[in-house]
C-alpha cells in the first residue's frame, strides 16, 4: 500500500505536468496567426515560459509585447500561471 505522502507527490507532479501542457497549448490559442507562424512555446520552468522565435528580430518584437502576452495567458488560464516569458531568437523553424 502506498503512503499518503507518495500519493500526494504523484498527484502534485501530475498537476504540474498538466499545468505546463495547458500553458503551452494556451500559447497556440491566444497569439495572433502571424506570431503563431513564427514562434513555438517550448517549455515552462517555474513560472517562466520559454518561446522559440524564428529570428532575433522576432524575439525582439515579441519582447515588446511580453506584458500583454503574459496577461492574455494568465487570463486564459484563470490564474497567474506565468510571471515571465523568455524569447529565444533563431531557435525555431
82: domain CATH number is: 3.30.300.180
Q: What is the pTM of this model?
A: 0.79
Give how many domains the chain has, as a whole number.
Answer: 1
CA distances from 87 to 5, 6, 10, 90 (A): 37, 36, 31, 10
Task: Answer yes or no: are the C-beta atoms of 80 and 74 closer than 8 Å.
Answer: yes
Q: What is the pLDDT of residue 19?
A: 78
Domain ranges, residue 59: 4-89
The SS3 call for residue 53 is strand
Mean pLDDT of 51-68: 95
Alpha helices in 31-80 (DSSP H): 33-36, 56-64, 66-77
Which residue did the predictor score with more confidence, 52 or 9?
Answer: 52
Mean pLDDT of 3-16: 56
Amino acid at each position: 500500500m502506498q503512503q499518503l505522502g507518495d500519493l500526494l507527490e504523484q498527484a502534485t507532479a501530475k498537476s504540474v505536468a498538466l499545468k505546463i501542457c495547458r500553458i503551452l497549448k494556451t500559447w497556440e490559442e491566444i497569439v495572433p496567426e502571424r506570431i503563431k507562424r513564427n514562434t513555438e512555446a517550448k517549455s515552462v520552468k517555474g513560472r517562466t515560459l520559454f518561446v522559440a522565435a524564428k529570428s532575433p528580430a522576432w524575439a525582439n518584437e515579441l519582447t515588446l509585447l511580453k506584458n500583454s502576452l503574459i496577461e492574455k495567458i494568465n487570463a486564459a488560464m484563470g490564474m497567474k500561471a506565468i510571471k515571465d516569458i523568455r524569447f529565444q531568437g533563431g531557435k525555431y523553424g
